[in-house]
Each structure stands twice: as C-alpha cells, then as structure tokens.
Amino acid sequence: MTARIIDGKSIAAQIRADLIPRVAALKARGVTPSLAAVLVGDDPASAVYVGAKKKAADELGMGSEIIRRPATTTQAELSALVKELNSRKELHGYIIQSPLPRGLEESSLVDLIDPAKDIDGFQPYNFGTMTLGGGTLLPCTPAGILELLVRSNITTAGAEVVVLGRGNIVGRPMSILLSRKGKGGDATVTLCHSRTKELYKHTRRADILILAMGQPEMVKGDMVKEGATIIDVGINRVDAPETPKGYRLVGDAHFATVSEVAGAITPVPGGVGPMTVAMLMQNTVLAAELKLK
C-alpha cells in the first residue's frame, strides 16, 4: 500500500478562497478585517512565520501589521503593548509570536489578550469555552487539522484516534476537539506523551494518528496500523550535508516506511503548516464578523 497524500497547500487554498467573499462583504460595510503580529527579538524562524502570515493577509485584502520589539523588551513593556492592542478599535485580532526571548513569560501575556481578539485561540476564556463544547476562535493548528480530515473525507465519528504530544498548542486542544460532538468529532481519543509506556501498542491501533511530539522520524512503519491516516505536525530540522542548505525538514513520522503502510498521510512540509496560516486568517475574519453583531 502507498499512502494517499493529504495536500495541505491545496486545502488551505480552498479555505482562503472561501474567505474572499466574506472579506468583500465586510469591506462593503466599511470594515477591513485586520490583524497584527508581535515579533520580539530576532529569531529567524519566527520572522519567516510572521512574514508568511502577513503575506496571506495581504493577498486576501486584509489589514496586516508586524510590530517588532527588541529582545531587550521587558515583561512590563509587552504587557502595556498587549493592553494597547486590546484598545485599538480597527484591529480585530493579533498574535504574540513564540518563542519569546529568554526571561519573558508568554502565558501571562496571553492571559491579558482580549478574548474577542484572540485569533490564536490560546486565551484561557476561549480555551475553556472550547473545552465545554462551544467556542468560535479555536486554536489554529488543531482547527486546521480538523479541516484537513473533514475536507479529505476521513471519518472521525467512532474512530480510534491517538494523539502523540500533550502540549497546549496542538496535542491537548486536538484531543478535546476530536472528542467533542459533531462534525470532525465524536472520536475515541487517546492522548500519549513522553511518559507513555509501550507507545507502539497505542499507535498500532489508531485509525487516525496525529503526531505532535517534535521528535524527528520517531514513528516508523511498524508502529502504524495498516490503512491508518497519519497527520504529521512535526517540523524538525536534521543535518543533510549533501543539500545546498545543509539540512532538510522532516516530520515526526519516518515518511518512507510509514507511507508504505498508511492509507493517507500529510507531507512535511506542505501538510499541516499551510493550514495553520489559513485558520489564522479565518479567525481574523470571524472576529471582524462577530464584532459587527
């Protein structure tokens, strides 16, 4: 068996296309959905990620802004910035790009974000509402994964889903969303992590296996159930002296062996990553729409 490739780039493009008439409708009412990204320090990867988000917003005709602060910025200065962004009426949402430089505490800043502008979906109010079965501004990567599954006609209802990784950005909210009632949910979910014993016993029974451990190529073909769907969230840089850049990007799955067993799999890159950006755009548009109600 050779796995079907789940093309995140193509599905993300569909979502962006769906947003075009919604953006136009907002503009017709005198509202331009707008987002900002706070970039602290000079981490190259963070700069690339923020640039991709701004580009996506610009292409949709949305307002976008990158707010740069030096690595020497204090916690108090960032807290003041968050409060300022909360008060800006023309701004519908914003993110604080992680990781922050050492010495800065991200969680206390997220606590200060106005839930109505929390387009990352991490603010405690929004996270708690999601846990209770409601919510509108959902965490982007988990919500994007649900879209990948639904738009790829992969059934979650009644499926055995195993999530590797218990982080608050992907693993934990993913397990919550999949277990909720309704479209893209109704799954039986097992959440595994670095302390899980005999991990392979869990992964081998999964109809859907979601990898978010950040361990390069940790899941091999013999750990996967035949015909399973593999959603690989991992983006890991490994040395590859033979390449022009000297490295290559791999997921948490050993693609060569897993793709011979699985029924469907997301590539790295080009799988989950584009979906995260698309869902950030969708959350921004939704925040603008909700503000008008």
Cβ(34)–Cβ(65) below 8 Å: yes
Q: Which of 229, 251, 226, 247 is nearest to 238 (CA)?
A: 247
Active-site residues: which are they? 53, 97, 120
Report the alpha-carbon distance of residue 53 to residue 74 in Å, rounded. 25
End-to-end CA distance of the chain: 50
Rounded to an integer, what is the distance from CA 161 to the centroid of its chain?
A: 18
Q: Please give the Cα distance from 30 to 145 (Å, whole number).
A: 32
Task: Quote the crossing angle between the two packed helices 140-151 and 171-179, to the nearest 10°.
Answer: 50
Q: Which two tokens stand for residue 20?
A: 């075009």
